[in-house]
Amino acid sequence: MNGTPKAIELYDTTLRDGTQGEHINLSVQDKLLITEKLDEFGMDYIEGGWPSSNPKDEEYFLKARNLSLSHAKLCSFGSTARSLRNIGNDPNLLGLLHSETPIITIFGKTWKAHTLKGLGISEEENAELIYRSVSFLRSEGREVFFDAEHFFDGYKDNPEFALRMLDSAAEGGASRLVLCDTNGGSLPEEVEEIVRNLLLHTGLPVGIHSHNDGDLAVANSLAAVIAGATHIHGTINGIGERCGNANLISIIPNVMLKLQRNFTFVEHLAQLTSLSKFVYEILNMPPDGKAPFVGKSAFAHKGGIHVSAVMKESSLYEHIDPKLVGNRQRVLVSELAGQSNIRYKARELGIELPEKGELLKNLVNHIKELEHKGYQFDGAEASFELILQRELGNFSPFFDVLETKIAIESRKGSKNVDQAVLKVAVGEETELVAADGDGPVNALDKALRKALIRFYPQIKTIRLVDYKVRVLEEKRGTSAKVRVLIETSDGHNTWGTVGVSTNIIEASLHALCDSMNYHLYMAGMSA
């Protein structure tokens, strides 16, 4: 390869292809939060969904217009037109245009068997369908990426047919040709050879979209890059239909650290672990402890020869420095303090911690004790910041909940009644309030606002936008601890807080109190 290798483009499809995975469900608010996080990390393209397929994705694209993204471009996804009869009025293509994204990704058939048996049309009709769909979207001023569905299976079956469909997309004006291993059954050497052959055939940038049915999606993506592909599709943590998609969390460090290639915008690889955990938390799923690079066990060592070796030279049993990806080494028989992780998170929040001293030591021990109890601060940065500011002497709670009573009344054939009674101290004054709600947590939220509004009228602007509960000790049944994560917004900013308890109401109240305290603290900081 002559000159400096071209930067690799990252195309994230967590919000579309990822949501097709079993047990994966994202609200519109979830998708917006992940979009902002992906942009912050350095994604080039974010595929938000298929606007013609469901109202949720249509709402997402409507609200996503108000996001202030730094560099990522939003993409909508759909298929070629259904028929050649009236391309300009095809509901799918019109839905893609109405999403108002600068880039539209459409897929078309490149396997002859799918064209003849699935669509029931001829080779000529399929080529024309691809060409006219792409050219119509281009005529409306949109950049178009073409996803060549089943390309590797189609190429192995009939290379002339597969290449002709790509030519049709290119002639229509597509700016990227993305080769899809839709069934996930290809091998890395096959992918590499086919990508090399294709690059001799086209001058357009070529991308790779791999599925993980053979547990080779990451390997196939890397093989495509080695062969000359400059555009990678994947999802965070590899979520997706069946066995999942290519895992960007593994692809990114392999490309940067092993292949020595750069991405367009990714500058801080140390945010990788945080990104992985953030998405798991939003999905309300436990992180994969054995995940390469970012898992809790990825750099964990236990006893014997391994521990003795890594204490002298970590590279003897670690393929990279864990700090490069925001992870840390763990010696299970004598766990390390984790000061660097806490210092890194503090710096992300603009807080400089002292290099040495009892304060940092006490803070580390306190965080470790909370994590042992079940707290997790990825996705709950507001709670984490309050802990830091309290230890630094910059924050003390604005109020104290002295007593809590919850009444739940259920009657057959009538609406349930949930009521929260709170006794709250603000300085020297005490408020005793009651509020009804749609469920006990909603009643708690209303009662807390009612108690505080006289003292802090600025809380009128905030509202709870998301609420998640995770059981932490499943084997203990109904006596298990739960972790409650809530998202709150003031219309401009969104923040997460966390609470942990064996009592779901108490855990919810802790998270709500942190949310209120954080808003009041930040309002005071900006006053």
For the cut 70, the answer to whether the pLDDT of residue 353 exceeds it is yes
Q: Which residue would you say has higher pLDDT here, 12 or 4? A: 12
Q: What is the mean pLDDT of residues 400-429?
A: 86
For the cut 70, the answer to whether the pLDDT of residue 337 exceeds it is no
Predicted pLDDT of residue 186: 97
Predicted pLDDT of residue 501: 93
Highest mean pLDDT among 10-14, 119-123, 336-340, 475-479: 10-14
Predicted pLDDT of residue 360: 78
* C-alpha to C-alpha distance for 215 and 128, rounded to whole angstroms: 35
Decide: 120 and 150 in contact? Cβ < 8 Å.
Answer: no
In the chain, domain spans: 9-267, 400-526
Q: What is the mean pLDDT of residues 169-180?
A: 98
Predicted pLDDT of residue 462: 92
320 pLDDT band (50/70/90 cuts)?
very high
Decide: 197 and 228 in contact? Cβ < 8 Å.
Answer: no
Contacts of 413 (CB under 8 A, 6+ apart): none
For the cut 90, the answer to whether the pLDDT of residue 354 exceeds it is no
Question: 213-263 pLDDT, tens per residue?
Answer: 999 999 999 999 999 999 999 999 999 999 999 999 999 999 999 999 999
Q: Which residue would you say has higher pLDDT here, 177 or 354? A: 177
Q: What is the mean pLDDT of residues 203-207?
A: 97
Highest mean pLDDT among 117-131, 182-196, 334-348, 365-379: 182-196
Q: Which residue would you say has higher pLDDT here, 356 or 504? A: 504
Question: What CATH code would you report for 9-267?
Answer: 3.20.20.70
* C-alpha to C-alpha distance for 178 and 107, rounded to whole angstroms: 9
Q: What is the mean pLDDT of residues 97-108?
A: 97
Predicted pLDDT of residue 69: 96
For the cut 70, the answer to whether the pLDDT of residue 302 exceeds it is no
Q: What is the mean pLDDT of residues 40-51?
A: 96
359 pLDDT band (50/70/90 cuts)?
confident
For the cut 50, the answer to whether the pLDDT of residue 447 exceeds it is yes
For the cut 90, the answer to whether the pLDDT of residue 264 exceeds it is yes
For the cut 70, the answer to whether the pLDDT of residue 339 exceeds it is no
Beta strands 429-437 and 330-331, pairing class: unpaired
For the cut 50, the answer to whether the pLDDT of residue 388 exceeds it is yes
Predicted pLDDT of residue 344: 58
121 C-beta neighbours (distance < 10 Å), count? 16
Lowest mean pLDDT, pick from 45-49, 320-324, 341-345, 505-509: 341-345
299 pLDDT band (50/70/90 cuts)?
confident
Using alpha carbons only, how large is the chain's radius of gyration in Å?
26
Beta strands 231-234 and 300-301, pairing class: unpaired
What contacts 24+ positions apart, CB below 8 Å, involve 405-409?
A: 406/440, 406/443, 406/444, 406/505, 408/440
Predicted pLDDT of residue 317: 76
The model's pTM is: 0.71
Predicted pLDDT of residue 413: 63
Kindly state the percentage of the chain with pLDDT values over 70: 91
> Sign of torsion, CA 30 501 420 456?
negative
* C-alpha to C-alpha distance for 145 and 75, rounded to whole angstroms: 9
For the cut 90, the answer to whether the pLDDT of residue 345 exceeds it is no
For the cut 80, the answer to whether the pLDDT of residue 378 exceeds it is no
Predicted pLDDT of residue 30: 95
* C-alpha to C-alpha distance for 433 and 420, rounded to whole angstroms: 8
For the cut 50, the answer to whether the pLDDT of residue 495 exceeds it is yes
For the cut 90, the answer to whether the pLDDT of residue 361 exceeds it is no
Q: What is the mean pLDDT of residues 101-105?
A: 98
Predicted pLDDT of residue 174: 98
* Residue-averaged pLDDT of the chain: 90
Predicted pLDDT of residue 303: 55
CA atoms within 13 A on the CB side of 381: 18
Residue entry with tokens 């650290």: 257
Lowest mean pLDDT, pick from 22-31, 53-62, 309-318: 309-318
Name the CATH superfamily housing domain 400-526: Alpha-isopropylmalate synthase LeuA, regulatory domain (3.30.160.270)
For the cut 80, the answer to whether the pLDDT of residue 315 exceeds it is no
For the cut 50, the answer to whether the pLDDT of residue 336 exceeds it is no
Q: What is the mean pLDDT of residues 188-205?
A: 97
Tokens of 498: 């966390």
Q: Which residue would you say has higher pLDDT here, 243 or 306? A: 243
